Structure 1
């Protein structure tokens, strides 16, 4: 088993790169992906026959270079240096949706936003009919609060 691993170290580096990519999906800070880039570079070094010391040096150098050069570029273009990045359901606030089921006064209805249908409530004194356009103003758990865009324009 040890002989197999030593003869196929590139596979270990490739697995490390994939694990780092999976971990990056949970953080979104573009930090762990730098280690994934280093692991890919080391996998290439292992595949061409470099010894383990060169592979470790390549990993360290490429990961460090990625932290200083790739990460700032990724943050600038993908996060636009926003200090507060809403995610998941919090990103719905301010979005425009279409009512799919009439929102009754004091009751609930349904609103479609980007293909997802959300249970919605409104503080409006009148019903908001199906087909109307609404803007999300708040969220409580899985229920969004909306207001009609016609009342916004008035």
Structure 2
């Protein structure tokens, strides 16, 4: 087995470890091993191969790993919780929403919330509304 094949075998083993651990440390080492495999095609010096391995690994740790951690830590469709989960939900008006008196209540899943109308129109008891915004304990709604 030639030295470049050994470096590629090391890289493959590190990629498999990366798949299991997903911390991007093994991936950076694998990038270094691929760099060393390429270097071994140009020189037989183990010192140069290890130097290339170290440099590629260091560069990967500085540039690739932070990028990948940031990229994968973004939660694109993360589930909403708390009051954020109310936005877009349908509620039933339990107490007339009257903008002039700044009064009105809606119910969602048995919880009662103070509500205001988005467009400033009255919304009568029993009507269905959609929650558009949550400001502290006040929901901004519009007719469904």
Equivalent residue for 2:64, pick from 63, 67, 70? 70
TM-score, normalisation: structure 2:
0.50
- SS of 1:29's equivalent? coil
Taking the TM superposition and a 5 Å limit, the aligned residue runs for 1:7-46 are 8-46=2-40
Match of 2:127 in 1: none
- SS of 2:23's equivalent? coil
Structure 1: give runs of 5+ residues left out of the alignment: 83-90, 95-152
- SS of 1:17's equivalent? helix
Give the deviation of 1:9 after TM superposition. 0.3
Give the deviation of 1:64 after TM superposition. 1.3
Match of 2:55 in 1: 61
Give the deviation of 1:77 after TM superposition. 1.1
| Cα distance in 2, alignment partners of residues 11 and 79 from structure 1 | 34
Describe the superposition over 1:20-55 as per-residue Cα deviations: whole angstroms up to 9, x where unpaired.
000001111111100000000000000123411100
TM-score, normalisation: structure 1:
0.47
Q: Which has the larger radius of gyration?
A: 2
Describe the superposition over 1:112-138 as per-residue Cα deviations: whole angstroms up to 9, x where unpaired.
xxxxxxxxxxxxxxxxxxxxxxxxxxx
Describe the superposition over 1:84-121 as per-residue Cα deviations: whole angstroms up to 9, x where unpaired.
xxxxxxx9x88xxxxxxxxxxxxxxxxxxxxxxxxxxx
